């Protein structure tokens, strides 16, 4: 019995800042970001958008485009690290919004939950849903990923920002891709990238040492929420490499093969914090798993790194990247980091590229190398199904991304600082954040959304 992705949809923020504009404003050589990291644009939410909006838009498209009856859906599992509430999951918002649009109580028996493990939470949600469908083949599940990758102004992560969501229908006998039952995992608890609770003393705010009540806060320290993470880019890259390498070779053990594993994959889909991250990280695995590898195991750390650099600059590796990694990079260059959605957008980018190129990939095996900071990697594979072209024929990924609205640097900074009050683009055929309750005591902070025709 096959299980996998039967249909897929997406929603991406419709505003973007050209990377060249950001680079010039930050006194960075544009080529360093464009040709060095593969970055061209970064997408940004408008004032009426948040992670619930992106998720609801992607889910609505999935339902409408594939004529899904909501009574068929047994669960909607969400991967995100950008939740807008510490208790109420994004999934519960989605149930409410879908019932607003498609009928009251149509999802009353649907299970929903959010998965959080940095950028790998969507993969965790999908693996769980695949297991569920194997046990309940007459049912269907939906996986949604939704995130806003926001970094501090002037930080080294600023140019990797992005925002959007994906939604995928998980079924038996899927039309797009069927996944094998081997999943390799490598986990280690580290602080390469995280979003801690942050505090500031009340005295520092009020100038009063008596701990008087301040906006209903009785505590002497005020907690501050920030979308922006604490991170160490170089260390995070090393964690990415370590976890992914270990999971890759664990996957070889599960497959009981000594052959070069990546040779069996026609395309490789990786988590892409920036477009060229995969090609920069994969050179180690490429070198170690090559036939007649140049790595003997007796190298000093410096010698080891030298050999990896030599591999990454070789003509053979560049051809490998062009054939197996490049298609997944195309959308990332135009969007930025989608956190949990990054690996699935890479998958959709690959499908769209082959569809537009009129290349038949039915029966091809794709390898997936997922990563989430904190940190964990999962490696798995799937086989493209005969109906894949028919399913994605109307998705129009690259055509949609071409319609993105360019903003200037001043507008970007206003959006980042939440100084922009009005929507930059008028919402149409989409969900919007309508209001946040500020008066009714037992509903303070409640977020309300509506559909705009």
Task: Quote the pTM value.
Answer: 0.97
* Per-residue model confidence (pLDDT) at position 146: 98
* Per-residue model confidence (pLDDT) at position 289: 96
Question: Scanning the structure block, which residue is given the tokens 């705009």?
Answer: 452
Instruction: For residue range 285-331, list pLDDT tens digits in order.
Output: 999 999 889 999 899 999 999 999 999 999 999 999 999 999 999 99
Q: Do 39 and 275 meet the contact criterion of CB atoms below 8 Å apart?
A: yes
Residue 441 in tokens: 């005591």
| Cβ atoms < 10 Å from Cβ of 266 | 16
Asked if the model's pLDDT at residue 171 lies above 90, the reply is: yes
Whole-Å CA distances, 399 to 93, 168, 261, 405, 436? 29, 20, 34, 13, 34
Specify the pairing of strand 376-384 against strand 177-179. Answer: antiparallel
Look at the alpha carbons of 263, 269, 271, 275 in this order and tell me if their dihedral is positive or negative: positive
81 three-state secondary structure: coil
**Size of the chain in residues:** 453
Asked if the model's pLDDT at residue 426 lies above 90, the reply is: yes
Using alpha carbons, select from 32, 37, 29 the residue that is nearest to residue 279. 37
Rg of the chain in Å (alpha carbons): 22
* Per-residue model confidence (pLDDT) at position 292: 87
* Per-residue model confidence (pLDDT) at position 199: 92
- Residue 127 — very low, low, confident or very high, per pLDDT cuts 50/70/90? very high
Q: Which domains does the chain have, with CATH numbers?
A: 3-192+232-282+325-452 (3.40.47.10), 194-224 (no CATH)
* Per-residue model confidence (pLDDT) at position 216: 86
Instruction: For residue range 221-274, list pLDDT tens digits in order.
Output: 999 889 999 999 999 999 999 999 999 999 999 999 999 999 999 999 999 999
Q: Do 177 and 356 meet the contact criterion of CB atoms below 8 Å apart?
A: no
Helices 342-356 and 121-135, axial angle in degrees (round to 10)? 80
**Running DSSP on this structure, what letter comes out for residue 360?**
-
* Per-residue model confidence (pLDDT) at position 311: 92
| Distance from chain centroid for Cα 138 | 29
- Residue 58 — very low, low, confident or very high, per pLDDT cuts 50/70/90? very high
Asked if the model's pLDDT at residue 9 lies above 90, the reply is: yes
Instruction: For residue range 59-90, list pLDDT tens digits in order.
Output: 999 999 999 999 999 999 999 999 999 999 99
**How far is the C-alpha of 82 from the C-alpha of 268, rounded, in Å?**
26
Question: Scanning the structure block, which residue is given the tokens 């046990």?
Answer: 135
Instruction: For residue range 337-392, list pLDDT tens digits in order.
Output: 999 999 999 999 999 999 999 999 999 999 999 999 999 999 999 999 999 999 99
8 three-state secondary structure: strand
Cis preceding linkage at 375, omega within 30: yes
């Amino acid at each position: 019995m096959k299980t996998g992705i039967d249909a897929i949809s997406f929603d991406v923020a419709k505003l973007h800042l050209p990377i060249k504009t950001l680079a010039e404003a930050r006194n960075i050589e544009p080529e360093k970001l464009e040709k060095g990291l593969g970055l061209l644009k970064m997408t940004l939410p408008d004032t009426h958008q948040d992670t619930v909006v992106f998720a609801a838009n992607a889910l609505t498209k999935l339902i409408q485009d594939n004529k899904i009856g909501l009574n068929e859906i047994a669960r909607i599992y969400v991967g995100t690290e950008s939740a807008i509430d510490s208790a109420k999951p994004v999934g519960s918002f989605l149930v409410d919004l879908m019932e607003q649009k498609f009928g009251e109580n149509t999802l009353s028996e649907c299970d929903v939950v959010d998965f959080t493990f940095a950028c790998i939470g969507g993969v965790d949600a999908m693996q769980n849903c695949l297991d569920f469908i194997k046990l309940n083949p007459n049912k269907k599940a939906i996986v949604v990923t939704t995130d806003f990758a926001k970094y501090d102004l002037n930080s080294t992560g600023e140019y990797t920002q992005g925002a959007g969501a994906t939604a995928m229908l998980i079924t038996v006998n899927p039309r797009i891709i069927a996944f094998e039952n081997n999943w390799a995992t490598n986990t280690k608890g580290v602080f390469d990238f995280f979003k801690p609770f942050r505090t500031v003393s009340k005295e520092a705010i009020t100038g009063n040492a008596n701990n008087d009540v301040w906006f209903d806060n009785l505590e002497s320290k005020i907690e501050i929420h920030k979308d922006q993470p604490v991170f160490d880019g170089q260390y995070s890259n090393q964690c990415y490499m370590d976890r992914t390498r270990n999971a890759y070779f664990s996957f070889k053990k599960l497959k009981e093969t000594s052959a070069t594993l990546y040779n069996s994959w026609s395309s490789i889909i990786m988590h892409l914090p920036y477009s060229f991250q995969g090609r920069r990280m994969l050179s180690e695995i490429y070198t170690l798993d090559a036939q007649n590898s140049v790595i003997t195991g007796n190298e000093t750390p410096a010698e080891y790194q030298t050999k990896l650099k030599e591999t990454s600059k070789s003509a053979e590796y560049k051809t490998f990247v062009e054939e197996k990694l490049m298609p997944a990079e195309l959308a990332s260059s135009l969007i930025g980091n989608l956190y949990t959605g990054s690996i699935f957008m890479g998958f959709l980018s690959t499908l769209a590229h082959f569809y537009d190129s009129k290349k038949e990939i039915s029966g091809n095996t794709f390898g997936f190398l997922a990563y989430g900071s904190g940190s964990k990697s999962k490696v798995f594979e799937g086989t493209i199904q005969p109906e894949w072209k028919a399913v994605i024929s109307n998705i129009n990924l690259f055509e949609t991304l071409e319609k993105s609205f360019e903003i200037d640097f001043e507008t970007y900074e206003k959006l980042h600082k939440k100084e922009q009050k009005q929507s930059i683009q008028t919402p149409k055929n989409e969900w919007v954040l309508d209001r946040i309750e500020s008066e009714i005591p037992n509903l303070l902070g409640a977020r309300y959304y509506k559909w705009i025709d």
